[in-house]
Amino acid sequence: MTNERKAEVLDKALDWIAESASSRSDLYSTLREILELSDEEILELHFTSLKDFMDNEKSPRMGGL
């Protein structure tokens, strides 16, 4: 699979996750706890509407939940 195709699959999967979440809080929890993304990574993926769920400090990955 090419890197371009991997990026396309990731984009579609993230779109599906975002559309399927019952609330912004649910989406944030899914990204943090299930995908183990840091707040910085969430912002890099353009989920800027979730900023109000983030700590003011940079948060590390939660891992191990």
**Tens-digit pLDDT profile for residues 40-64:** 999 999 999 999 999 855 545 554 4
In terms of Cα–Cα distance, which of 22, 29, 30, 24 is closest to 49?
24
Tell me, yes or no, whether 61 lies in a domain.
Answer: no
In a domain, 13, yes or no: yes
The whole-number pLDDT of residue 63 equals 47
* 21 domain residue, yes or no: yes
Please determine, for residue 25, whether its predicted confidence score (pLDDT) is greater than 90: yes
pLDDT score, position 55: 80
Looking at residue 46, the DSSP 8-state letter turns out to be T
Residue range 28-44, pLDDT digits in tens: 999 999 999 999 999 99
- Total domains in the chain come to 1
